[in-house]
Each structure stands twice: as C-alpha cells, then as structure tokens.
C-alpha cells in the first residue's frame, strides 16, 4: 500500500504553460458580482473612461480558476464585474511556479475578458446609459507574475 506522500511525489509536474493548455479545459464561468451605479464624476466622455483589472487564482490540483475583477469608470456610471473561469485537468497535476502567471496572462484573461466586456455592456444598457465599448485585449497587453519566493496560487 502506498502512502499519501508517495502518491503526491508521483504527481505529473507541469513545467510549461503549453503542457497545461494541452491538458486543461474551460469547464465553467462563474459570476461573483456585477454592479453598475449612476454617480457624479469628472469623466466627461468615453475617451476619458478609466478601467482597472485585478486578478486572483485558485488551484486545487485539478481545477485552476482565473478570476478577474474589472472596474470601469465611465461618464456618470461606475461599473464592476467579477468573473472567474474554471479550467479543469483530467488528472491531478503539480504546477511549476512560472506556469500560473503565464497561464493567467496568455489563456485565463483571454478566456474571461469577453464575459467581463459583455457584463459591463449589458449593465450599461439596463441603466439606459451610454453603453461602454471596452476595446480588444491583445495577447501581451497584460502580464502577471508571482511574487518572488511565493506560491502564485
């Protein structure tokens, strides 16, 4: 009979984001929060609109969640969308430290961003406000990195 430590040491280790991409499938989109409210602000046109994007990850060996919170400040409306994409591998794997930030930058954000964009646009339409058009996100526009010496998950 093998011990838990022996089983853990036998895990497949993913060293490159391409390996993870070959294994993982996007299996779920989770909406955590959506909001829009009319405000008095100094933003006069959509050209002056401001956006902030924050990321979080969660990994349990088979499920990697790429979660993004978008704040979009438009003329007289503030929007917020917090949405995650859950990627699943068919087997439990161990990820090298560099894999999660690269996965977020190249795959996670590209998979989830259209849902964030649609959420903000839909909220604007429901408010009867000028519907914001959030531009394309191009590969490499946003990069994530793990803090030195820490686990990126």
Query: Quick check: is 140 in a domain?
Result: no
Query: Quick check: is 122 in a domain?
Result: yes
Identify the pLDDT of residue 135: 80
Identify the pLDDT of residue 11: 86
pTM of this prediction?
Answer: 0.83
Strands 50-59 and 93-95: unpaired
Q: What is the CATH number of the domain that holds 121?
A: 3.10.420.10
Q: Which domain holds residue 62?
A: 4-127
Identify the pLDDT of residue 4: 53
Residues of the chain below pLDDT 50: 1-2, 147-153
Query: Quick check: is 149 in a domain?
Result: no
Identify the pLDDT of residue 9: 60
Query: Quick check: is 101 in a domain?
Result: yes
**Residue 98 main-chain phi, psi, to 5 deg:** -80, -15
Q: Provide the domain count of the chain.
A: 1
Q: Which residues on neighbouring strands pair with residue 35, listed in sequence order?
A: 80
Identify the pLDDT of residue 16: 94
Cα four-point dihedral sign 125, 129, 130, 131: negative
Distance from the first to the final alpha carbon of the chain = 31
Query: Quick check: is 145 in a domain?
Result: no
Identify the pLDDT of residue 148: 46
Query: Quick check: is 142 in a domain?
Result: no
Residue 127, judged by CB atoms within 10 A of its CB (0-12, 13-18, 19+), counts as middle
Query: Quick check: is 141 in a domain?
Result: no
Query: Quick check: is 65 in a domain?
Result: yes
């Amino acid at each position: 009979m093998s011990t838990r430590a022996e089983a853990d040491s036998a895990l497949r280790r993913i060293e490159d984001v391409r390996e993870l991409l070959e294994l993982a499938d996007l299996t779920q989109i989770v909406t955590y929060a959506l909001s829009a409210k009319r405000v008095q602000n100094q933003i006069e046109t959509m050209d002056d609109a401001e956006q902030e994007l924050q990321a979080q990850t969660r990994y349990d060996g088979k499920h990697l969640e790429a979660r993004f919170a978008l704040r979009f400040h438009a003329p007289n409306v503030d929007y917020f969308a917090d949405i995650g994409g859950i990627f699943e591998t068919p087997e439990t794997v161990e990820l090298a430290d560099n894999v999660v930030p690269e996965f977020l930058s190249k795959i996670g954000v590209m998979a989830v961003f259209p849902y964030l964009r649609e959420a903000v646009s839909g909220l604007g339409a429901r408010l009867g406000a000028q519907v914001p058009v959030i531009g394309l996100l191009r590969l490499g526009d946003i990069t994530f990195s793990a803090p030195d010496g820490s686990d990126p998950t």
